[in-house]
Amino acid sequence: MSAARCAVIVLLALATASPVAAQVTTFSSGVEAVRVDVLVTERDRPLRGLQAGDFEILDNGVPQVVDLMTFEQLPLNVIFSFDLSDSVAGERIGHLREAGGALLGALKPADQAALVTFNHMVVLAQGLTVEFGRVRDALGRGRAFGHTALVDATYTSILLGEADAGRSLVIVFSDGLDTSSWLTPGAVLEMARRSDVVVYGVSAGSGPAAPFLKELSSLSGGSLFEIASTGDLGDTFLRVLDEFRQRYLLSYTPRGVLAEGWHRLEVRVKRRSATVQARPGYFAGQ
């Protein structure tokens, strides 16, 4: 096994062994409440003002009762997962630092932020903290070199998001395809299906975004933004944060369905002109 792969494994272990790991909660098991993070849009804009009675949730085809709905009430855990491979050197890393700083400036005092950086290695540069200056400093120390372990980095970032009971948003930035991950895309996508962390991908460059990043964003209930230039990163990051804050957090206690296995979710709103974006399901009893 190469030294780079060994480094990835060690850093993944460190991420899961962070002090917040004791707070890990599962998405759902048995009769515990299931949380579903939902984006509702109309004419490509977030639709606000909906109430619990406006939603319909089907769990494996069985209608459920929405027990709780919160809107902008829980603090956020925002995890930056940033590509620092050699293609980001120069002007691009400057844009990335500025964009990250702008997003940190838009967070609320009760929110937390963290930074995962990756090239051919994955580095937990800063764990979840309310001291945003520490995240900004860690980003400032980052240097762009090497290849791209996109898949490994997203795995670490999702684990970090699961390690706290708040609403977790992972923002993955990359300007290229994966070239050096140890983990397979399939394994990380399967892990994401078991998580309630929402992933938004941001891809910058002339080529298409990595198919893995597109599938991961969709599977987690997030979105993928493809931009032409890293000069647009600041506006894009702020748009992601604003959209995430306008999502609805639904909760229900499963009734009439088996307590274990994969549960297919369908979330609808009674307003037919609206579009609903949510994760496709969850694992229970595991």
Q: What is the mean predicted confidence (pLDDT) over 191-207? A: 88
Which residue bears the tokens 């307003």?
A: 271
How far is the CA of 37 from the CAs of 69, 169, 234, 266, 267, in angstroms? 10, 11, 24, 12, 10
Q: What is the mean predicted confidence (pLDDT) over 223-235? A: 94
CATH architecture, domain defined by 3-24+75-245 = 3-Layer(aba) Sandwich (3.40)
Is residue 154 a contact partner of residue 216, using CB atoms and an 8 Å limit?
Answer: yes
* Gap between the Cα atoms of 104 and 78, Å rounded: 9
Q: What is the pTM of this model?
A: 0.85
How far is the CA of 240 from the CAs of 80, 120, 243, in angstroms? 12, 26, 5
* Domain coordinates in residue numbering, the chain: 3-24+75-245, 34-72+247-284
46-55, 201-210, 225-234: least confident range: 201-210
**129 band by pLDDT with thresholds 50, 70 and 90:** very high
- State the pLDDT at residue 5: 43
**284 band by pLDDT with thresholds 50, 70 and 90:** confident
Q: What is the DSSP string of 143-204?
A: ---S---HHHHHHHHHHHHHTSSSEEEEEEEESS---S-SS-HHHHHHHHHT---EEEEEEE
pLDDT higher than 90, residue 273: no
- State the pLDDT at residue 72: 64
- State the pLDDT at residue 71: 64
* Gap between the Cα atoms of 273 and 199, Å rounded: 25
- Displacement of CA 149 from its chain's centroid (Å): 17
CA-closest candidate to residue 254, choices 34, 6, 70 = 34
- State the pLDDT at residue 31: 52
Q: What is the β-pairing status of strands 248-252 and 34-42?
A: antiparallel
**286 band by pLDDT with thresholds 50, 70 and 90:** low
- State the pLDDT at residue 48: 87
* Gap between the Cα atoms of 198 and 36, Å rounded: 10
pLDDT higher than 90, residue 11: no
**266 band by pLDDT with thresholds 50, 70 and 90:** very high
**7 band by pLDDT with thresholds 50, 70 and 90:** very low
Average model confidence (pLDDT) for the chain?
A: 86
Residue range 15-41, pLDDT digits in tens: 433 333 333 333 334 457 888 999 999
Supply the angle between the helices 185-193 and 150-162 in degrees, to the nearest 10.
20
Handedness of CA 201, 206, 212, 218 (dihedral sign): positive
Q: What is the mean predicted confidence (pLDDT) over 104-120? A: 97
Q: What is the mean predicted confidence (pLDDT) over 39-54? A: 89
- State the pLDDT at residue 277: 92
224 or 9: which leads in pLDDT = 224
Q: What is the mean predicted confidence (pLDDT) over 151-169? A: 92
**Which amino acid makes up residue 161?**
G
Helix (H, G, I), strand (E, B) or coil at 107: coil
* Gap between the Cα atoms of 126 and 17, Å rounded: 14
Query: What is the maximal distance between C-alpha atoms in the chain?
Result: 57
- State the pLDDT at residue 28: 38
Residue range 60-84, pLDDT digits in tens: 999 999 987 776 668 899 999 999 9
